Structure 1
Amino acid sequence: MILNDTPGVGQILREVWRPLVALFVWDVIVTVTYFYLPFTAPSLPLTIFGTVLALFLTARSTSAYQRWWESRTLWGAMINASRSLAREAVTFLGPRDEGQTRDLKRSIVLRHLAYVNALRCQLRRQPTRDEVLRFLSEEEAAEPLARVNVANALLDGTGQRIALAQREGRIDTIQQTQFERVLVDIANAQGGMERIKNTPLPMQYRFFPMLFTRVFCVLLPIGLVETLGVATPIGSTIAGLMFLAAHKIGDDLVDPFANTVHDVPLTAMCRTIEIDLLQGIGDEAPAPVQPVKGVLW
């Protein structure tokens, strides 16, 4: 996630220089052709086309931002539920220095830290093994790592440990129900994230805006050259840049888990959970994730 109010010049150039160069070259060709072979193009159709395209791109960008914001909201819910799970583990399972109870609390917390980091990796299509082994032993991690949905397997294991604690009399059924409510909230948040990741925008929202934006940029200098003359390459390129930028905004936000600078900062949020939960059981916690060149990952 970019934290600066405006992206850096270098980043802007990396993202738009190719279409801008192609657009400028086309504008120059149209301008030179006009002076050698003058032609007249009606401006009204281009004006109507541009207006409709702007509305189309606005709707697409709004849909993409809604996906991004829903993802951030779901991860906010995940942070809250994680804190609730750790707090219940600490309060329901008694003092920290009781042998087996202490181990059970630590197991619940560490499994959950493995869970959130595994979920982050799954959403970003990255390997989960190393992140899981940061918190669990090879023996504990073997079963969840053997399943397709590693994060869900870890959550199942946490539920099983809580059920075992109830059978052993460490917690009562009411406390188990409280645990289960939090686990359901966590599972619902995961399901929402997976829905966003696995469901792209409809094909019409992906194909037609791209097609119409390119067609408009091709027609733009033809409609402007009679008015702007030799200034057409500059004016047309700047106008085209606005439409290309509107299209790019949708591309940047449509997948909030693509591991790019425009993503929801999953690494930072997982670190927030890690700090809160480890300190809750009295363990040393790492430092918060810091922005790198104005980007929080």
Structure 2
Amino acid sequence: MLLKNNIPFKYVFGKIKYEVLLVAVYTLIIVILHDRFNLKHMAIPLSVPMIMGTVISLLLAFRSNQAYDRWWEARTIWGAIVNDSRSFTRQVLSFVDDSAYESEEINHFRERMVRRQIAWCYALSQSLRGLDGKDGLEKHISKREVAYVSRFANIPMALLDLHARDLNYALKKGWLNEFQQVTLDQTLSRLCDAMGKCERIKNTVFPATYSLYIHFAMNFFILLLPFALIEYFGLIEVPLVVAIAASFLLIEKMAIHLQDPFDNKPTDTPMTTISRNIERDLKQLLNDHHLPETTQNVDHKFYVM
């Protein structure tokens, strides 16, 4: 996710540098041809690109709004994951028979569940970005559990399965009553629903024809623009056309990046940062003082992942 401050111009310009260069060269060629050969017939009425520009602006605004809705839905889902992870940990730590509080086995059970929930958050973020969901799990769960989940294509699903198995085990041992087990299972169901929603966003492609038609229309508008301005501005129209084209191109690029919030780009939903915050909160509930390092305030970074 891009932060408010310190977004470098190089990053912004880098998204459209080749397109801007082509527009500048194209416009300069038209100006030279017009001035050298006095081709008055090259000019077209300014109203033609103005009408096209208005229509394209509305289409780009609608497209950007739809792309932002996808990005915001992804962020909302991860906000729910934060809440449910905290609730799950609180329930695991409190829904145990007080008479057995000092039991080493129960304390191990609690710690195992909480650390596995931390692992689930990291595994889900890795999987959504197309990376290896097993990467880094050994820091949070046992080698036996890592070996178990490695058999599955969907690592987060396998971790939730281990959660469910442990809840059943706790119920049979009498550490949880049936009501507590159902409540914890409902929390797991919400986590599973959140995972499914993220996968839906990840696997649902933004309509390609819609993007393609707007892209073609915008390029046609940029091609016409120099012919409409040539009689009014002369050589000055080169930076003017470049500025107008850059505005449209940047809006289109912004929409393209926002429509895929799990693509491992700076504009992503900051799943790693959110997972790190979850790890910090859950470890503090465990009285574990080995907290993860934060990268949020690094001066040279203008985004968080």
**Short-chain TM bin:** over 0.9
Contact 1:27–1:236 at 8 Å: present in 2 too?
A: yes
Contact 1:290–1:296 at 8 Å: present in 2 too?
A: yes
Task: Name the aligned partner's letter for residue 40 of structure 2.
Answer: P
Structure 2 residue 294 is matched with structure 1 residue 288? yes
* Corresponding residue for residue 40 of structure 2: 38
Shift of 1:174: 0.3
Shift of 1:246: 1.1
Shift of 1:135: 1.1
Residue by residue over 1:102-151, the C-alpha shift from the partner in whole angstroms, topping out at 9 and shown as x without a partner, is: 11111111111111111000011111222222212221111211111110
Structure 2 residue 89 is matched with structure 1 residue 86? yes
Contact 1:81–1:182 at 8 Å: present in 2 too?
A: yes
CA RMSD of aligned residues (A): 1.5
Shift of 1:288: 2.9
* Corresponding residue for residue 260 of structure 2: 255
- Of 93-102 and 174-183, the range deviating more from structure 2: 93-102
Instruction: After TM superposition, list the pairs within 5 Å mapping 1:122-141 onto structure 2.
Output: 122-141=127-146
Identity of aligned residues (%): 31
Where does the alignment leave 5 or more consecutive residues of structure 1 unmatched?
none
Contact 2:128–2:202 at 8 Å: present in 1 too?
A: yes
Alpha-carbon spacing, 1:226–1:94, altered in 2? closer, same or farther (3 Å): farther
One of 156, 176, 184 as aligned partner of 2:181: 176
Contact 1:271–1:289 at 8 Å: present in 2 too?
A: no
Instruction: After TM superposition, list the pairs within 5 Å mapping 1:219-234 onto structure 2.
Output: 219-234=224-239
Where does the alignment leave 5 or more consecutive residues of structure 2 unmatched?
none
Task: Name the aligned partner's letter for residue 80 of structure 1.
Answer: N
* Corresponding residue for residue 276 of structure 2: 271
- Of 3-12 and 20-29, the range deviating more from structure 2: 3-12
* Corresponding residue for residue 50 of structure 2: 47
* Corresponding residue for residue 150 of structure 1: 155
* Corresponding residue for residue 187 of structure 1: 192
- Of 140-149 and 91-100, the range deviating more from structure 2: 91-100
Task: Name the aligned partner's letter for residue 77 of structure 1.
Answer: A
Contact 2:5–2:302 at 8 Å: present in 1 too?
A: no
Residue by residue over 1:33-92, the C-alpha shift from the partner in whole angstroms, topping out at 9 and shown as x without a partner, is: 222222231222211111111111111100010011000000000000000000001001
Alpha-carbon spacing, 1:229–1:6, altered in 2? closer, same or farther (3 Å): farther
- For the residue of structure 2 that corresponds to 1:129, the secondary structure is coil
Q: TM-score, normalised by structure 2?
A: 0.93
Q: How many positions carry a matched residue from both structures? A: 297
* Corresponding residue for residue 15 of structure 2: 15
Looking at structure 1, the residues matched to 88 and 52 of structure 2 have their Cα atoms a distance apart, in angstroms, of 54
One of 64, 67, 81 as aligned partner of 1:64: 67
Residue by residue over 1:201-257, the C-alpha shift from the partner in whole angstroms, topping out at 9 and shown as x without a partner, is: 112232112222222111111111122222111111111111111111101211111
Looking at structure 1, the residues matched to 187 and 87 of structure 2 have their Cα atoms a distance apart, in angstroms, of 7
Looking at structure 2, the residues matched to 79 and 288 of structure 1 have their Cα atoms a distance apart, in angstroms, of 17
Instruction: After TM superposition, list the pairs within 5 Å mapping 1:71-110 onto structure 2.
Output: 71-93=74-96, 97-110=102-115
Contact 1:94–1:101 at 8 Å: present in 2 too?
A: no
- Of 106-115 and 39-48, the range deviating more from structure 2: 39-48
- For the residue of structure 2 that corresponds to 1:130, the secondary structure is coil
* Corresponding residue for residue 245 of structure 2: 240
Contact 2:123–2:156 at 8 Å: present in 1 too?
A: yes
Q: TM-score, normalised by structure 1?
A: 0.96
Contact 1:144–1:153 at 8 Å: present in 2 too?
A: yes
One of 176, 200, 204 as aligned partner of 1:199: 204
